[in-house]
Amino acid sequence: MKVEGSTRPVSGTSAPWLLAALFLAAPALASGAALAASPVEDIIIVLSGEFYKEEIFPPTDGSPWHLTATLLNGTGPIDLYIMPTTELIAAYPTGSFAPVIAKENVTSANFDFSAPSRLQSFVLIVDNLDNPRPTDAHPRGEARVMLVRPPPLRSSPEAQALLSSGASICAAVLAAATVAVAVYLKRRPRPDTDEAQAARAPRIEVAVEVPKPPPGAWARGEPPEAAPPEEKG
């Protein structure tokens, strides 16, 4: 896969939990920024038997994410899918996957997408391979496709600002948690030592009378003589 006319390199997939946290915090983080970014245009080349994926960054003003895709060369139809990132990781392209939107066997497409949940992340797939779905297009060579859509996560200044703000917030929370744990460990009552616990234990003293041996018995090492039995009268 190649991207023509793109000013930034394709980045890796961001963690879904981080995207969810940033989407929830977007209204506060995006204050003072433009709410709706202008669409961007890229021309991608997808080789036969391969696919192109791109993270979707929905507009923060709540409007639908809009895509216009056009096949520029005559190599045959392609498939376009929008699916949760979890489907991409767990099932696509060899397993049984469930896209939210599927445009199959098309040479052009024009549609809107509204994310059903801000707690999920979604990806756009330009499919030029033979996947398990019976209605998909069969690859007929290299596909050159023009995509017009809102700036993806990799090239959206607003998305990058949100990611940077989210990372700063996470770092601040982690630092505060570290300080709180250190203060707690320093101020918590320390356990007593074994000697201190033994000193507080109650003691009971019982007087026991020990009989004294006869004089000189200790020097000879002789046991004390037993008293003669008393005679019965």
Top-confidence residue, 28 or 173: 173
User: For residue 27, is pLDDT > 60?
Assistant: no
CB 103 within 8 A of CB 68: no
- Supply the pLDDT for residue 76: 80
Top-confidence residue, 226 or 186: 186
- Supply the pLDDT for residue 17: 47
pLDDT-derived band at 8 (thresholds 50, 70, 90) equals very low
- Supply the pLDDT for residue 229: 67
- Report the alpha-carbon distance of residue 135 to residue 89 in Å, rounded: 22
Top-confidence residue, 174 or 196: 174
Largest Cα–Cα separation, the chain: 140
- Supply the pLDDT for residue 205: 74
Most confident among 57-61, 101-105, 184-188, 212-216 (mean pLDDT) = 101-105
Percent of the chain with pLDDT over 90: 37
- Report the alpha-carbon distance of residue 69 to residue 137 in Å, rounded: 16
- Count CB atoms within 10 A of the CB of residue 65: 19
- Count CB atoms within 10 A of the CB of residue 167: 12
- Supply the pLDDT for residue 63: 85
- Supply the pLDDT for residue 230: 65
Average pLDDT for 198-212: 74
- Domains by residue range for the chain, with CATH: 2-170 (2.60.120.380)
- Supply the pLDDT for residue 36: 52
- Report the alpha-carbon distance of residue 43 to residue 57 in Å, rounded: 19
- Supply the pLDDT for residue 13: 40
- Supply the pLDDT for residue 166: 55
